[in-house]
Amino acid sequence: MSFDPKRDYPLGTKRPDLVSTPAGRPLADVTLGALRAGAIGADEIRATPETLRMQARVALAAGRSQLAENLERAAELADVPDDLLLAAYTALRPGRATAAELEEWAARLESYGATKTAEFVREACAAYSDRGLLADG
C-alpha cells in the first residue's frame, strides 16, 4: 500500500504497518513489557532510515522544509555507529578541529552514505573559518 504523508500522519497510529525496528520487527512488538522481558533490546527501539525518510516527507508536506532536511540527515546517520557520531559531534564543537580534520570527518561520513551530513560539516567548516573558530593546525 502507498504512503500519503498528509493522510498517514502520525505513522505509529495511522500506518503502524509501515514502521518497524532495525531488525524488522513490527511496531506492535515494541513495548515496555517486551523490553523489560528482554524480548527486544535497546537497539530495537531506534528509528530506521526508512521511518525517518517518511517523517521527512510528512514534514515537507506540512511546509516544514527545515525539519524535513534535519530528518533526512538523521536518516543518513541512523546506521552510523554511535561512537563515530559522538566523535564527529565533538569535532564540530568550535575550536576542536582544524579545517583538514573537519574535511576528514566529512569524507568519513560520506563513506557511510551520509552525503547531506558531510555537506553540513563542510558548511560548518567554512563558517568556523570565517569566524576564527577552527583549531590551530
% of the chain exceeding 90 in pLDDT: 93
Q: What is the pLDDT of residues 65-117, one digit of tens each?
A: 999 999 999 999 999 999 999 999 999 999 999 999 999 999 999 999 999 99
| Maximum distance among all Cα pairs of the chain, rounded to whole angstroms | 54
CB neighbour class for 91 (10 Å; exposed up to 12, middle 13-18, buried from 19): middle
Which of 73, 52, 54, 47 lies closest to 6 in space, CA to CA? 54
Q: Are residues 66 and 4 in the same domain?
A: yes
Q: What is the CATH number of the domain that holds 104?
A: 1.10.1510.20
* Residue 23 scores a pLDDT above 70: yes
| 137 has pLDDT over 80 | no
CA 15 to CA 7: how far, in whole Å? Answer: 10
The rounded mean pLDDT for the chain is: 95
Range of weakest confidence among 41-45, 53-57, 107-111: 41-45
Residues 68 and 114 placed together within one structural domain of the fold: no
Output the pTM of the full model. Answer: 0.84
Asked if residue 69 and residue 10 are part of one domain, the reply reads: yes
**Has residue 1 got a pLDDT over 70?**
no
Judge if 28 and 64 occupy the same domain: yes
Question: Of the residues 79, 95, 121, which one is the last residue of a structural domain?
Answer: 79
User: How many domains would you assign to the chain?
Assistant: 2
Quick one: 49 and 110 in the same domain? no
Q: Which domain holds residue 15?
A: 1-79
Whether the per-residue pLDDT at 43 is higher than 90: the answer is: no
